[in-house]
Amino acid sequence: MKLNKVTKAVFPVAGLGTRFLPATKSIPKEIMTLVDRPLIQYAIDEARAAGIKEFIFVTSRGKSALEDYFDNAPELEAALIKSGKEHLLEVLKETNMDSGAICYLRQNRPMGLGHAVWCARRLIGDEPFAVLLPDDVIAAEKPCLQQMIEAHEQTGGNMVAAMEVPPSKASSYGVLDIGEDMGAIVRAKGVVEKPKPEDAPSNLAVIGRYILTPKILTNLNRMKQGQGGEIQLTDAIAEETAEGNVYGYRFRGQRYDCGSKAGFLQATVAFGLARPDLREELNGFLHDLISMQKAAQ
Ligand code: UTP
């Protein structure tokens, strides 16, 4: 199958981030740090590794720190050179984006994830594109989006990252109704947004990585309100299941929901323990803390 290469990615970052108030009153959620790098850096690195060349951010008021983060920092660089901290210059370089590779556009009101993606329609044009939600941080040997792009080369169409969740958690996700199970890839015959546990059509939940066809933007054009009165990306994808054109991909990796406090804390511990420079000290601290808690019980 000859497919257009996926070279554009949309990062919807216009949400209010209410679960992290009061921090998100002045700090964009995506700039909050996991160990020593902001959430958005993990998503950008994953996209770059998957061959993405154009990065489209859908932002909102109060997100200027995000724009500054990807800019060059000449004063800081000069100060690091002067003080002989060349190794930190290398760390900084990873955050710089080529001129013109990144663009920001505004979603004027938080009308839902589907609406945020629709805002990028003119920049996407008529090609398949990726969507990455930086809240979902995925630790994987091969980056999740790269796995998906490889799987997408076999299927074409729309592809969503999927993972198994217990029924009690189904109401936090879009859940796939499985038509055909081919192992790592499933063909979906429906997608239900945030079902009650008894209504969940499977235990396969959609998480924040997508490869989508431009047809999704046409569906979003209708501005149909879904759950919570928001324009839902899931609804626009679900419309395509009638065409047999939506695939779920069981990615290999560990996903952390950094949009929730518990998920963010879990990711902090896991990523801290994965770092050779922090592992020993953090491990010792956790061990002592747990022992103390057990003794106090
Ligand atoms: P969430 O559902 O996590 O909402 O959005 P949120 O506003 O970020 O956080 P809470 O729930 O209030 O704490 C999922 C993703 O969709 C984006 C968010 O920025 C996040 O990346 N989004 C959501 C938009 O860009 N625009 C919207 O209107 C809604």
Please tell me the predicted confidence (pLDDT) of residue 87: 86
Taking Cα atoms as reference points, which of 207, 197, 184, 211 lies closest to residue 254?
207
Taking Cα atoms as reference points, which of 30, 36, 35, 42 lies closest to residue 68?
30
Whether 176 is in a domain gets the answer: no
What is the whole-number distance in angstroms between the Cα of residue 123 and the centre of ligand 1?
A: 21
Best residue among 27, 113, 133 to mutate for probing ligand 1, ranked by most atoms within 8 Å of CB:
113
Please tell me the predicted confidence (pLDDT) of residue 3: 65
Whether 155 is in a domain gets the answer: yes
Length of the chain: 297
* Domain tally, the chain: 2
First CA to last CA across the chain, in angstroms? Answer: 61
Please tell me the predicted confidence (pLDDT) of residue 283: 96
Q: Name the pairing type of β-strands 246-250 and 185-193.
A: antiparallel
> What average pLDDT does this structure show over 184-188?
97
- H helices within the chain, ranges in order? 39-49, 64-69, 74-82, 86-93, 113-118, 121-124, 144-155, 215-221, 233-238, 261-273, 279-296
pLDDT (tens digit, 9 = 90+) per residue, 140-162?
A: 999 999 999 999 999 999 999 99
Indicate if ligand 1 lies below 6 Å from the C-beta of 133: yes
Which residue carries 């189904």 as its tokens? 170
Judge whether residue 139 has pLDDT over 90: yes
Whether 25 is in a domain gets the answer: yes
Residue 64: pLDDT band (50, 70, 90) is confident
- More confidently predicted of 189 and 296: 189
Taking Cα atoms as reference points, which of 70, 63, 56 lies closest to residue 29?
63
Task: Give the CATH number, domain containing residue 130.
Answer: 3.90.550.10
Among residues of the chain, what percentage have pLDDT more than 70? Answer: 99
> What average pLDDT does this structure show over 3-32?
92
Residue 2: pLDDT band (50, 70, 90) is low
Whether 188 is in a domain gets the answer: no
Q: Which atom of ligand 1 is nearest to the CA of 19?
A: 13
Residue 287: pLDDT band (50, 70, 90) is very high
Amino acid identity, residue 123?
A: L
Judge whether residue 91 has pLDDT over 90: no
- 270 and 220 share one domain: no
State how far the Cα of 107 lies from the Cα of 111, in Å rounded to an integer: 8
Amino acid identity, residue 144?
A: C
Residue 55: pLDDT band (50, 70, 90) is very high
State how far the Cα of 109 lies from the Cα of 90, in Å rounded to an integer: 37
> What average pLDDT does this structure show over 41-70?
92
Per-residue tokens: 201: 């059509």
Q: Which atom of ligand 1 is nearest to the CA of 20?
A: 13
- 106 and 50 share one domain: yes
State how far the Cα of 214 lies from the Cα of 145, in Å rounded to an integer: 18
Indicate if ligand 1 lies below 6 Å from the C-beta of 15: yes
> What average pLDDT does this structure show over 212-236?
91
Residue 1: pLDDT band (50, 70, 90) is low
- More confidently predicted of 93 and 113: 113
Taking Cα atoms as reference points, which of 123, 156, 173 lies closest to residue 247?
156
Please tell me the predicted confidence (pLDDT) of residue 97: 83
Q: State the residue range of the domain holding 270.
A: 260-297
Residue 99: pLDDT band (50, 70, 90) is confident
- 248 and 281 share one domain: no
State how far the Cα of 145 lies from the Cα of 46, in Å rounded to an integer: 7
State how far the Cα of 293 lies from the Cα of 151, in Å rounded to an integer: 46
- 126 and 51 share one domain: yes
- 267 and 139 share one domain: no
Residues β-bridged to residue 10: 56, 131
- 148 and 274 share one domain: no
Query: What angle is formed at CA 90 by the lines to CA 89 and CA 92, rounded to 5 degrees?
Result: 65
What is the whole-number distance in angstroms between the Cα of residue 282 and the centre of ligand 1?
A: 31
What's phi and psi for 138, nearest 5 deg? -120, 115
